[in-house]
Amino acid sequence: MREPLINWAGNVTYRAARVHRPTSLDELRRVVAGAERLRAFGTGHSFNRLADSDAEMVSVAGLPGGIELDTAGGAVRVPAGVRYGELATWLDAAGFALRNLASLPHISVAGAVATGTHGSGVGNGNLATAVTGIELVRADGELATLRRGDDGFAGAVVSLGALGVVTALTLEIVPTYQVRQLVYEDLPQAAFVENFDEVMSAAYSVSAFTSWSGPVIDQVWRKHVDVPEIEESWWGGHPAAEARHPIATVAADACTEQFGVPGPWHERLPHFRLEFTPSAGDELQTEYFVDRADAATALRALDGCRELIAPILQVSEIRTIAADDLWLSPCEGRDSVAIHFTWVRDAAAVEAVLPVLEEVLAPLAARPHWGKVFTMAPEVVRERYRRITDFDALVRDLDPAGKFRNEFLDRYLG
């Protein structure tokens, strides 16, 4: 009897009766063509049933083929199952880099792109904005390639797996670069909120962490591509005296190096090192995106809910992401602030709090992260995306029989 397939957090046991792990492209094409309902899954870092299937699932992690560099075109072709940490190490050794990375280097390229996953930085788009080409297996088992500029490309990048099984992606690259990371502690919350743009623009990538339990922002992580001045007082905060983990009670062993020590981009932009497991996955995660112009309003509204948030929270992270034109991206059409919650793994307690948070953020047209826990009604989610009907049409064109659908997509995409 097959062991159950469980996501990284341990809160979702996938229901598929059959799980495929093809080792060749031809085998994958046969699997796709022969399935009635099929979902692709990656490293299991979604906290809801986005990747689930009541029929069949498939992993592309075992497909052959390596990373291919196109120096003339400033691009790299990446097998879909490759993790960002592996890609980054390979690229850096070749003298190249990506513009940004998420906090975890352990996630797969295809999965992160498909859900609009991101890092931080007022000038940095989410990870999907680096995509210039997509290779996928369509519902009939045929191969298709879409390139930036093609009709429908902007809808096919953040696709939630609804269009086919992605086998490779082509990403923009830049010359490798060094990053220095500084951590500041105990910024007065009022100063942070009132000077939000200045604080979050202080470095190439900035992340703020709060427990929503006091009048301060517990930590701000600044990731610099220049040589930063270490200020003894910065917006009322002070430099950390020792290495920090985002969760104050956890040792910093798994975290990337701090104190302004220069290092390769891929060893500083993530919060966690590839060689460590940052946690046991014993958590739930939620994230909401609002227009960056509404950051102060959103933060004040959530501060009014702190008595509900703090008792079930491990840590909350606040980041910024540049606007893009990808139809289902949470940052489509607006420079965004993402407010992330890492909860204790108590689904009932979390699900009781989320409707309150969603209600106070409703006037700001908050969008949820597709791969995390939220309770918004489907019609509310759909109205937050200007190009949702165009995406519906793209799905009907590429998957007319709904082979790649599941209950989650049926619920939120209609």
CB atoms within 10 A of CB 93: 10
How far, in Å, are 165, 246, 314 from residue 250 at the CA level? 38, 8, 10
Q: Which two tokens stand for residue 91?
A: 């690229």
pTM of the model: 0.96
Cα separation, 26 vs 165, whole angstroms: 13
Cα separation, 403 vs 385, whole angstroms: 23
Beta carbons of 266 and 309 less than 8 angstroms apart? no
pLDDT of residue 337: 98
**Sign (positive/negative) of CA torsion 138, 106, 187, 124?**
negative
Helix (H/G/I), strand (E/B), else coil: 111? helix
How far, in Å, are 4, 39, 298, 300, 383 from residue 365 at the CA level? 37, 29, 10, 16, 9
Cα separation, 148 vs 394, whole angstroms: 15
Cα separation, 291 vs 275, whole angstroms: 35
pLDDT of residue 414: 79
Q: Which positions of the chain have pLDDT values less than 50? A: 1
H or E, element range at 408:
helix 407-413
287 exposed, middle or buried (CB, 10 Å; 0-12, 13-18, 19+)? buried
Cα separation, 189 vs 195, whole angstroms: 10
What number of residues does the chain have?
A: 414
Beta carbons of 201 and 208 less than 8 angstroms apart? no
DSSP secondary structure letters along 342-395: EE-S-HHHHHHHHHHHHHHHGGGT-EE-TTS-----HHHHHHT-TTHHHHHHHH
Q: Of the candidates 73, 49, 61, which has an alpha carbon nearest to the alpha carbon of residue 23?
A: 61
Helix (H/G/I), strand (E/B), else coil: 316? strand
Q: Which fold would CATH assign to domain 68-176+387-413?
A: 3.30.465
Question: What order do you get walking across the sheet with 68-70 strand by strand?
Answer: 68-70, 75-79, 165-172, 131-137, 143-147
Cα separation, 273 vs 260, whole angstroms: 16
Residues 6+ apart with CB under 8 A from 309: 212, 302, 316, 341, 353, 357
pLDDT of residue 2: 64
Residues 6+ apart with CB under 8 A from 253: 276
pLDDT of residue 1: 47
Domain boundaries of the chain, sorted by first residue: 68-176+387-413, 178-379
**1.10.230.10, 3.60.40.10, 3.30.70.2520, 3.40.50.300: CATH of 178-379:** 3.30.70.2520
pLDDT of residue 280: 61
CB atoms within 10 A of CB 227: 9
pLDDT of residue 281: 74
Beta carbons of 122 and 335 less than 8 angstroms apart? yes
State the virtual CA torsion across 74, 79, 81, 85 in degrees, nearest 10.
-40
